[in-house]
Structure 1
Amino acid sequence: MNKKIAVLLGGTSSERNISIKSGYAILDSLLKSKLNAYPIDTRDYSMTELKQNGFNQAYIALHGKGGEDGSIQGFLQYLNISYTGSGIMASSISIDKFRTKLLWKSRGLLTAPDIYLSKKKNIDSIYSTIEKQTLKLGFPIIIKPNKHGSSIGITVISSVTKLYEAINKTFNYDDNILIEKFIKGKEYTVSILGQTVLPIVHISTKNAFYDYNAKYVCPSTQYVCPSGLNPIQEKKLKEIALLAWNTLECCGCGRIDFILDNKDQFWLLEINTIPGMTNRSLTPMSAKAAGMSFDELVLLILKMNEKYV
């Protein structure tokens, strides 16, 4: 049977623009491969019509809320439409940085010490406690929304004087936030296809960290793939990445970010279950280093979702 593929893109999250770029890159590739694919912007399309319009396969290019949080995965499974990427549970856990870290820590994996804050609590009444806890972490610290990607809403601060301003700013993006010890070091990202770890990318930026500008705007950001790690380090990082991936029961394609500190220790940062597929994205870069074209990568990710049919 000829599959009719819905490339799900856009949506309503803060990562909408990146999702549109990823989605149309995927769509163009699928059309180039002579597949029956169509762009579906979930912001403007009634998803209940997918089945009646003949779609029986979905290629998810939605980033952030509504795409990586398990909600679209659950809806597609209800409609009996196969889809790319991780399932409901793995998606919903992976987008939650705090709960992801709890699972990783349970497996002995290194993640930055943190403080978890919820807007639902009376923040004003516990600011003094937060200040004491933050001082224990030690500056600099990084404050991030718990369920956002693309480094949106993240702030790095070096003194307590900026703490409350940064907390309030981050609460504009999410009702739950993380205050983490900022781990200084070299940044690496590891892409995974099924159970295959692709060549590692080393990221170098002049910014304080690999923020939104460094990812999507700044021309000075540099990427090295293969990473330049020695064989022992590379083997170790790939093993950690695969353990982190399997701990969350992820499948399909994803990407995990790391910091290598000056003591030669790898720290887990976060995981992306729907990695970017734009012309600046890192998973296609890793695939290329493994000898795989963008079109081959897109088709392989699509083929991996057949178990959901």
Structure 2
Amino acid sequence: MMKMKLGLLYGGKSAEHQVSLQTAKAVIKALDLTKYEVHPIYITEDGEWVRGEQLHSPVDDVKTLRLNDNGKKVSPTSLNSEIFPAAENERGEGKFDVVFPLLHGPNGEDGTVQGLLELLNIPYVGNGVLSSSAGMDKVMMKNIYEQAGISQPAYVWYLRGEWEKNAEAAYEKVEEKLGYPCFVKPANLGSSVGISKAEDRESLAEAFRVAFEYDRKIIIEEGIDGREVEIAVLGNDEPECSVVGEIVPEAGFYDYKAKYEDGSTGLIIPAEITEDEFARIKEVAVQSFKAIDCSGLVRADFFLTKDGGVLMNEINTMPGFTPFSMFPMLWQKSGLEYPQLIEKLVQLGVERFEEKQKIKHTF
């Protein structure tokens, strides 16, 4: 039985570059190398694409995934022809069966790489162009969910130019519409990079400054007095949900350090919630998944308020797969182990590709 040729895309020109390396290490460790012929493709922090030799064993250190000095630069538009020998390509045996983008943040999770793979007609794992771009931009995502009637915290947003022209007006609007505490976030970033909690005017101004370092657009959300819970969604046209997990951060909120470095945050899986709350969370998670036409995978984040309300916080179209990541742990507690989860995602990507091949492109 021939192995499936799997391309792993990781790294990326993004502030979440290091998170992507950790995800790649974890996925490589989980892959069954007797079933997959794994080819690493590293995207540097400057946006260059570098291919490495086929992997025959797991990676012990993420530093070895940085292929700057021991790889060959390739053109993103020539993935198959530059990865495999020309003779193999002519026989049609050398092309990727599927590509797994393990990219977080801009220039990877936002639909850019997905658009490239669509143009190259290469099957890939995860969400498509529209869902990736809408899910990446928190403002667009929340605007869509507002139109879909999905309950969520109040929010306002700003462009850097608006803030630079009249910062005081921006702060006053936040205080009028949201009050304190509130959270200030780059609109197009994840992994809690650039996010700050503001308790007063002074910390709000600093939070604006920090967020604008990572994006030209930021979103400010009201602080919710409630429990933070997450659920994992898996599938294409008929998505399924995992159990619910609860986040209990030791710090003020679930920041980058708690997510990826010290593991200090308490995670309760499954969360102690009622059957009605579980049913409502699943219902809204699937509704959110379908509202932006997701496929493959999503992690949906919610607030459970003290009066029993369920508020959508955000969805993540490429959640992390690190040892501290909720997505694989939620599925593990739901009966789907890590290696089987990876196989399921690959299968879903191939199924979606085959479905798209049925579309007519002539008239």
Shift of residue 58, structure 1, vs aligned partner: 0.2
In 2: Cα distance, 1:33 partner to 1:240 partner = 39
Match in the other structure for 1:14:
15
SS at match of 1:241: helix
CA distance 1:273–1:118, change in 2 (3 Å): same
Match in the other structure for 1:148:
189
Shift of residue 115, structure 1, vs aligned partner: 1.5
1:228 has 2:257 as partner: no
SS at match of 1:200: strand
CA distance 1:278–1:219, change in 2 (3 Å): closer
1:211 has 2:255 as partner: yes
SS at match of 2:246: strand
Alignment match of 2:100 (pick from 54, 59, 72): 59
Summarize the alignment of residues 186-197 of structure 1 with structure 2, pairs less than 5 Å apart. Answer: 186-194=227-235, 195-197=239-241
In 2: Cα distance, 1:165 partner to 1:285 partner = 35
CA distance 1:219–1:276, change in 2 (3 Å): closer
Match in the other structure for 2:43:
42
Q: Cα RMSD (Å) of the superposition?
A: 1.5
In 2: Cα distance, 1:27 partner to 1:82 partner = 19
Match in the other structure for 2:174:
134
Question: After alignment, is 48-57 or 154-163 more displaced?
Answer: 48-57
In 1: Cα distance, 2:209 partner to 2:137 partner = 19
Given residue 28 of structure 2, which amino acid in structure 1 is its aligned partner?
L
Shift of residue 243, structure 1, vs aligned partner: 0.6
SS at match of 1:51: helix
1:78 has 2:119 as partner: yes
CA distance 1:263–1:9, change in 2 (3 Å): same
Match in the other structure for 1:308:
353
- Are the counterparts in 1 of residues 109 and 132 from structure 2 also a CA contact under 8 Å? yes
Match in the other structure for 1:29:
30
SS at match of 2:13: coil
In 2: Cα distance, 1:83 partner to 1:125 partner = 43
Deviations, residues 184-239 of structure 1 (Å, cap 9, x unaligned): 21111110001001111111111111111121123331111111111111111111
- Identity rate of aligned residues, in percent? 31
TM-score, scaled relative to structure 2: 0.82
Given residue 168 of structure 2, which amino acid in structure 1 is its aligned partner?
S
Deviations, residues 111-147 of structure 1 (Å, cap 9, x unaligned): 22112100133x2432232222112211011100000
In 2: Cα distance, 1:291 partner to 1:124 partner = 51
Runs of 4+ off more than 4 Å:
none
Shift of residue 291, structure 1, vs aligned partner: 1.1
Higher relative contact order (CA 8 A, sep 6+): 1
Given residue 50 of structure 1, which amino acid in structure 2 is its aligned partner?
L
Question: After alignment, is 128-137 or 151-160 more displaced?
Answer: 128-137
**5+ residue gaps, structure 1:** none
**5+ residue gaps, structure 2:** 51-73, 84-93, 355-363
- Are the counterparts in 1 of residues 105 and 190 from structure 2 also a CA contact under 8 Å? yes
TM-score, scaled relative to structure 1: 0.95
Alignment match of 2:244 (pick from 200, 203, 207): 200
In 2: Cα distance, 1:13 partner to 1:51 partner = 24
Question: After alignment, is 86-95 or 107-116 more displaced?
Answer: 107-116
Summarize the alignment of residues 108-187 of structure 1 with structure 2, pairs less than 5 Å apart. Answer: 108-121=149-162, 123-136=163-176, 137-187=178-228
In 2: Cα distance, 1:127 partner to 1:154 partner = 18
In 1: Cα distance, 2:27 partner to 2:34 partner = 11
Given residue 167 of structure 2, which amino acid in structure 1 is its aligned partner?
Y
In 1: Cα distance, 2:172 partner to 2:327 partner = 40
In 2: Cα distance, 1:156 partner to 1:162 partner = 8
Given residue 79 of structure 2, which amino acid in structure 1 is its aligned partner?
L
In our comparison, the structure showing a higher alpha carbon Rg is: 2
